[in-house]
Chain A
Amino acid sequence: MADKKWAMVYDANKCIACQACSVACRVENNVPENLYRLQVQMEGPNGVYPKLGMNFHRQSCVMCNNPPCVPVCPTGASHINNEGVTLVDNNKCIGCKYCIVACPYKARFVNSVTSAADKCTFCWGTRVSKGQKPACVEQCITGALLFGDLNDPNSEVNVYLRNHHHILSKEHLNTKPKLYIIPSQRGGVKA
């Protein structure tokens, strides 16, 4: 039985940027004030009135399978586990911020409380490793987030991805992200 390879699907069509996921993440992970592991940003309205569109963007770690933030860590605090989740070992992190500079997705930040590098962890420690879904996925009120094992052909993520056109962010950097994005069909044309 292959190791699990956790992935998340973000359907921008269903996302309404209500920030329930962002607040749930904050509560679940003790994220310090004014810092975010997860934000949902809106961009628009795009287009020319009255033919408009709005884009929705989940700003968080995209859980690269070939993460640029791991090789650069001088102590190995930033590491990827056998289920494809990149994590930071706060005890080993010295706060050099190399991983923050190396991340092309602006996913990382310095946690003002632990002074270590911090980012979305798919709630691995508190939930996924115990058979639960991440807090954001559970809290999403419109069901825009899915979570599951890429190595399981019948997992909800695989089923959804087979049925929906999807993209990966900055694919050309060969980071192999595991946050799959279903782009909004009503994003509008940037004038």
Chain B
Amino acid sequence: MDITWGSQLQYHAVYWPWPIAIYLFLAGLSAGSLMVAVLLKWLDKNNLPPWDGLIRAGAAIAPITIILGLVLLIVDLGKPLTFWYLMLYFKPSSVMSIGVWLLAVYTPFCLLFTMAIFKDHFFSGTLAGYIRFLQPVVTFYENNSVKIEVFLLTIASGVAIYTGFLLSAAIGLPLLNQPILPLLFLASGFSAGIAANIIIGLTVFKAVVEPKNLKYLLMLDLRVIPFELGMLFLMFAGMHFLGGAHALVGIQALTEGFWAGVFWFGVVGIGLVMPLIVAVTALHGHSYKKTTVLFNSVILLLGVLLLRFYILYAGQIYTG
């Protein structure tokens, strides 16, 4: 039949495009960076200043990325200037509303962590006069650091997880409507945090990075990556066995078009398998080149970004 009913573009459009994909990446990255920084801080002999470069990296990355992410979210809105309406309502049935409030708590706490880690920078210098009133807060944090850091870990994992739940509400989109997504995004965000902290730590804060901490992070990575691969396998195997639209979409998403290529080549190849191989071979043992470590972290981070793009785009495009 000839088309006599008009354009069908609106039915195939991607309504959550690249700004959302990047936001998901940044949110996971921010949460991961923060979690990694806190975990490092908890390691023996790390819980006092001067802070290890890898901890400082986390404290720098976390707030910057989350604020960037929030800006992207606002810009993507149909009516950007109405973003503050979100703070007028709390709708627990809406994962987005939950996320908004989570972020409303996470962001200041994240900044608190940053201020504590970079206390000297914040409270001396030109900025000091304006934020003098926050000094008692920082002090309170320092006195209750463990409790607050537990809270930080919890809320950061909340931020990483909620991005997965956000997508699951799309009951008509089999690739997004996946129960494993929250866990996958948590793991992925965590490994992004590791990679980002390493990159910034080894470049910006290279003077104060202790090898033992670096080794710890690389060890963590070596566990998270197989875990991610496992979850991806679980997800697609699960889709196959669910049958119906799920099985169809699973096949489409793995074999059809540009995004299947992004998945195999980008997400799995560059982002997971290659780092794994590099870690097991070149980074094994005590001596490893800094450039190798940096290279590995970059491709890992790229893989995390591509995973968000892949899930978001393929999820909206392949509908069975």
State yes or no: do A and B come from one complex: yes
Are B5 and A71 in touch, CB under 8 angstroms?
Answer: no
Assess whether B135 is interfacial by the CB under 8 Å rule: no
Interface of chain A, helix or strand or loop or mixed?
loop
Assess whether A13 is interfacial by the CB under 8 Å rule: no
CA distance A4 to B127 in the complex (A): 61
Are B11 and A72 in touch, CB under 8 angstroms?
Answer: no
Q: Which interface residue of B6, B8, B77, B169 has the most chain A CB atoms within 10 A?
A: B6
CA distance A3 to B148 in the complex (A): 51
Specify the chain B residue showing the minimal Cβ separation from A104: B172
Assess whether B257 is interfacial by the CB under 8 Å rule: no
Given contacts A74-B97, A94-B78, A97-B78, contact A34 B6 (CB under 8 A): yes
Chain A residues within CB distance 8 Å of chain B: 17, 19, 22, 34-36, 39-45, 54, 59, 68, 70-76, 92-98, 100-106, 109-110, 115-117, 170, 173, 175
6 tightest Cβ-Cβ pairs between the two chains A and B: A95-B78, A104-B172, A71-B93, A74-B97, A115-B78, A74-B96
- List 20 A-B residue pairs with CB atoms under 8 Å apart, sorted by A's residue number: A19-B4, A34-B6, A36-B5, A36-B10, A71-B94, A74-B97, A75-B97, A76-B89, A94-B82, A94-B85, A95-B82, A96-B96, A97-B78, A101-B15, A104-B170, A106-B10, A109-B13, A110-B15, A115-B78, A115-B79
Chain B residues within CB distance 8 Å of chain A: 1, 4-11, 13, 15-16, 77-79, 82-83, 85-86, 88-89, 91, 93-97, 100, 166, 169-173, 176, 316
Q: A74-B91, A74-B94, A94-B86 are in contact. List 19 more A-B contacts (CB 8 A).
A: A19-B6, A36-B10, A39-B5, A42-B1, A42-B4, A68-B171, A72-B94, A73-B91, A74-B97, A76-B91, A94-B82, A96-B78, A97-B16, A101-B173, A104-B173, A116-B78, A170-B172, A173-B171, A173-B172
